[in-house]
Structure 1
Amino acid sequence: MADLLPEFEQHFATVTAEITSKTCLLGTKDGAERHVFIRDIEKLVGEARELLESMELEVREAEPSLRERLNTRVKSYEVELNRLEDEYKRTKKSLPNEEASRADLFEAVSAGQSAHEEQRQRLLDDCDTLEHTSARLTQGHRIALETEQIGAQILNDLNGQRQTISRARQRLQETDTDLDRSSRVLNTMLRRVLQNRFVLYTVVALIVIVVIIAIYVMATRH
């Protein structure tokens, strides 16, 4: 896995959380402050798009065995960003026109206040929904990172255990080889001992025979 992908993911989570927060507050702003919020949100959306492109580049450089899983994660981030952008556009579209509001303010003040309160409540409800969704996304991202770290640790442990087993197997093979060599040496020594014993018995027997013959010869002369 590319080294920069977790950093990009963390930055993306921060940016999308900020988009959610500003979108929720957009309906409560008026005048210049509303324009500042709109400019900030659009800038954050552009920044999130650039982060997605960077993550896609990192995925292309990842190992083939990880590429499909990482690409699925990046696609889910793209879906989430599209959803936030659509929510922002709906919120922006539903905002009342400031010039028309000033012209019709006197005659529609009561109805306008009621509609504004209803719209404000709807925006607050949408804000809560977006915040909950963003919190779930952040939590899911954190759990994914933790799961990936645990998986990497397990793979490292398994690799270490495999190396330990391989070394133990190699030592066992070396021990078997040494035992075979020792067994051959002992067999050779045993054969030599038996051969030496046979030669010794043969020499003793010959000496005994010679002594008996000598005694016999000496006895027959007398």
Structure 2
Amino acid sequence: MSDVFEGYERQYCELSTNLSRKCHSASVLSDGEDKKGKIAEIKSGIDEADVLIRKMDLEARSLQPSAKAVCLSKLREYKSDLNQLKKEFKRVSSADAKQSSREELMESGMADLHAVSADQRGRLAMSVERLDQSSDRIRESRRLMLETEEVGISIVQDLSQQRQTLLHAHNKLHGVDDAIDKSKKVLTAMSRRMTRNKWIVTSVIVALILAIILIISYKLSH
């Protein structure tokens, strides 16, 4: 369900309840400035309700098929409710509304008044129920949002810990690389020293051999 559609739905339910109350108030007023002012308020409210219905219609048709079907079903109920409000407004705002109301009361008695009140109470109860459902959905959406936020925070914390672990491992690798470089330098120096010592020993041996040859040659000649 779209949050935008639910917002329009909540506004319409509140507006429908207020319009129903105003229509009932206007029906018991005598002709005069008060009634004209009330009728003007109702007319403005019905125009606003029409705008909300059109907005809900556009929003519902832009949704995914599953959510779209649910929203369009609700929209049909709201359109029917708005049509009923328009009929009530037309009856209240007609020039002979007062006379018509008197004739209806005389013909049908108090039973009709109870029926009208029951219808208004039913519409009011339906509007309140819709508001409660919208509030429940909003609370559920807020709960899911908070849970999602907590999960996101937990993931960020885990990633931060992993980053610290990787940085620590990276620093250790740098330390190992430095140790390897030092070992390579030591081994290279030892290798050079061994090579140099080998040449020195070889030179000494050659010199000794030459000395022995010279001594032997000297003795043989004398």
Compute the TM-score of the two structures, normalised by the length of structure 2: 0.58
Q: Distance in 1 between matches of 2:70 and 2:183?
A: 71
Q: Cα distance, 1:129 vs. partner?
A: 0.7
Residue 207 of structure 2 aligns with an amino acid whose one-letter code is I
Q: Cα distance, 1:85 vs. partner?
A: 4.7
Q: Cα distance, 1:130 vs. partner?
A: 0.9
Work out which of the two has the higher radius of gyration on C-alpha atoms and give 1 or 2: 2
State yes or no: 1:28 paired with 2:21.
yes
Among the aligned pairs, what percent are the same residue?
A: 15
Q: Cα distance, 1:157 vs. partner?
A: 7.1
Q: Distance in 1 between matches of 2:216 and 2:18?
A: 135
Which deviations, in whole Å up to 9, do the C-alpha atoms of 1:29-56 show, x marking residues without a partner? Answer: 3252444332221111223345567xx5
Compute the TM-score of the two structures, normalised by the length of structure 1: 0.58
Q: Distance in 1 between matches of 2:18 and 2:59?
A: 24
Partner residue in 1 for 2:116: 116
Among 30, 41, 45, the alignment partner of 1:37 is 45
CA 1:154 to 1:115, structure 2 compared with 1: closer, same or farther past 3 Å?
Answer: same
Residue 87 of structure 1 aligns with an amino acid whose one-letter code is Y
State yes or no: 1:47 paired with 2:87.
no
Q: Which runs of 5+ in 1 are unaligned?
A: 1-8, 57-70
Q: CA RMSD in A?
A: 4.7
CA 1:78 to 1:37, structure 2 compared with 1: closer, same or farther past 3 Å?
Answer: farther
Structure number with the bigger relative contact order (C-alpha 8 A, sep ≥ 6) is 1
Number of residue-to-residue matches in the alignment? 197
Q: Which runs of 5+ in 2 are unaligned?
A: 27-38, 92-96
State yes or no: 1:79 paired with 2:70.
yes
Q: Cα distance, 1:196 vs. partner?
A: 1.7
Partner residue in 2 for 1:5: none
Partner residue in 1 for 2:128: 128
CA 1:151 to 1:92, structure 2 compared with 1: closer, same or farther past 3 Å?
Answer: farther
Secondary structure of the residue aligned to 1:27 is: helix
Which deviations, in whole Å up to 9, do the C-alpha atoms of 1:150-184 show, x marking residues without a partner? Answer: 67767777887888888888888888887777766
- Bigger Cα displacement from structure 2, 195-204 vs 207-216: 207-216
